[in-house]
């Protein structure tokens, strides 16, 4: 009952927010939605699969670049470029999973980083196609069912719907029997293998599923910015996402959303007042690790449970 009340209150807050907030804050929240999907998809690997990745930006950047290139170079409509970008990025996740999941732990992390850096280098150096450091410009936002998304409030509601559906699908995945097996492979891979589960296959399916939702965030990213740059494929982009997951609380549904909000706010709002906002982000992360080592969401839950026992 309490959960239903909280969710209802949150839904009312999010639906009414654009009517009382200024355009800057509406756009800022739209960026948080995009970052939340990206972080939640990475959390499938980091939090539920025990597979730390530093190359998740490959899926965001790949989907964004494919959509942009098909639109600019071939003149395809958004209703064609979007599904093609999602399909191509998911197939790339299948291939990357076959390569990266040959290892675990630190070796897996380094392989994901290497694969992502290959794409970053290609986008940066293949100037004839990607325009290199200048990025791809002249993009537009789609108009689903004739709805113009150029208005900040309209795009906010579009991003909210996509984010709500994405988080719901990720939550269903985690709560399913397959999600239970996934968490088992994270905690006791040898025991799960002895019980007859194909640990590698479970991880590969999760890797592909996480790549798909990373691609969804990439489409929203390029629709919002109407521009794509090789920085979207960089190590920094992946590091910000993993920082959001850890800060918010890996292995929780709300944690990556909270962490993404912190990173986006520090990056887009605080940076206007604090020159070295990256340093501030580092201090915030250190404080979270010291006082809430499990992340903000688990830490708040623990404090709330302690307060209720008083």
Q: What is the pLDDT of residues 174-230, one digit of tens each?
A: 999 999 999 999 999 999 999 899 999 999 999 999 999 999 999 999 999 999 999
Per-residue pLDDT at 267: 85
- Does residue 166 carry a pLDDT above 80? yes
| Mean pLDDT within 3-23 | 85
Per-residue pLDDT at 276: 72
Q: Among 92-101, 158-167, 273-282, where is mean pLDDT lowest? A: 273-282
Q: Rounded distance, CA 243 to CA 305, Å? A: 26
User: Given the structure tokens 């999602």, which residue do they identify?
Assistant: 86
Q: Which pair of structure tokens corresponds to residue 282?
A: 């580092």
Mean pLDDT score across all residues of the chain: 91
Per-residue pLDDT at 17: 87
- Does residue 1 carry a pLDDT above 70? no
CA 54 to chain centre: 12
- Does residue 76 carry a pLDDT above 80? yes
Per-residue pLDDT at 275: 73
pLDDT band at 301 (very low <50, low <70, confident <90, very high): confident
Which is more confidently placed, 242 or 6? 242
HSE value, Cβ hemisphere, 13 Å, CA-based, for 126: 13
| Mean pLDDT within 101-110 | 89
Residues with Cβ within 8 Å of 247's Cβ and at least 6 positions away in sequence, in order, are 258, 259, 262, 263, 284, 285, 288, 295, 296
Query: Among candidates 212, 197, 295, which has minimal Cα distance to 251?
Result: 295
Per-residue pLDDT at 266: 86
Per-residue pLDDT at 307: 83
Q: Which pair of structure tokens corresponds to residue 251?
A: 């292995």
- pLDDT tens digits for range 122-161: 999 999 899 989 999 989 999 888 888 999 999 999 999 9
Residue pair 288/296 in contact (Cβ under 8 Å)? The answer is yes
SS3 content of the chain, % helix, strand, coil (to 5): 80, 0, 20
Q: Rounded distance, CA 186 to CA 215, Å? A: 24
Query: Among candidates 153, 174, 171, 173, which has minimal Cα distance to 163?
Result: 171
- Does residue 99 carry a pLDDT above 60? yes
Per-residue pLDDT at 28: 94
Per-residue pLDDT at 56: 95
Specify the DSSP class assigned to residue 21: S
Specify the DSSP class assigned to residue 227: -
Q: Rounded distance, CA 63 to CA 215, Å? A: 5
Give burial (CB, 10 Å; 0-12/13-18/19+) of 304: exposed
pTM: 0.94
CA distances from 162 to 84, 159, 209 (A): 18, 5, 16
pLDDT band at 8 (very low <50, low <70, confident <90, very high): confident
Q: Among 19-23, 69-73, 119-123, 210-214, where is mean pLDDT lowest? A: 19-23
Residue 57: strand, helix, or coil: helix
Percent of the chain with pLDDT over 90: 68
Every domain of the chain and the residues it spans: 25-234
Q: Rounded distance, CA 68 to CA 182, Å? A: 34
């Amino acid at each position: 009952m309490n959960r239903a009340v909280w969710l209802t209150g949150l839904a009312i807050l999010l639906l009414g927010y654009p009517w009382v907030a200024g355009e800057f804050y509406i756009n800022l929240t739209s960026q948080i939605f995009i970052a939340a999907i990206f972080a939640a998809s990475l959390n499938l690997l980091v939090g539920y699969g025990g597979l730390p990745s530093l190359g998740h930006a490959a899926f965001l950047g790949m989907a964004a670049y494919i959509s942009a290139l098909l639109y600019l170079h071939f003149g395809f409509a958004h209703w064609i470029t979007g599904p093609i970008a999602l399909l191509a990025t998911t197939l790339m996740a299948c291939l990357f999973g076959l390569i990266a999941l040959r290892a675990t732990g630190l070796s897996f992390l380094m392989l994901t980083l290497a694969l992502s850096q290959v794409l970053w280098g290609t986008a940066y150096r293949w100037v004839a196609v990607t325009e290199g450091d200048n990025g791809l410009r002249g993009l537009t936002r789609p108009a689903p069912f004739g709805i113009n998304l150029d208005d900040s409030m309209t795009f906010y509601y579009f991003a909210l719907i996509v984010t709500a559906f994405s988080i719901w699908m990720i939550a269903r995945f985690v709560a399913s029997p397959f999600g239970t097996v996934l968490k088992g492979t994270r905690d006791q891979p040898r025991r799960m293998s002895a019980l007859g589960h194909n640990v590698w296959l479970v991880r590969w399916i999760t890797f592909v599923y996480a790549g798909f939702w990373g691609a969804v965030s990439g489409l929203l990213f390029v629709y919002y910015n109407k521009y794509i740059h090789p920085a979207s494929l960089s190590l920094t982009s992946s590091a910000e996402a993993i920082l959001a997951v850890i800060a918010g609380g890996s292995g929780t549904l709300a944690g990556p959303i909270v962490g993404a909000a912190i990173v986006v706010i520090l990056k887009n709002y605080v940076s206007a007042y604090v020159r070295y906002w990256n340093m501030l982000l580092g201090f915030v992360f250190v404080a979270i690790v010291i006082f809430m080592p499990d992340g903000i969401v688990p830490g708040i839950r623990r404090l709330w449970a302690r307060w209720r026992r008083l």
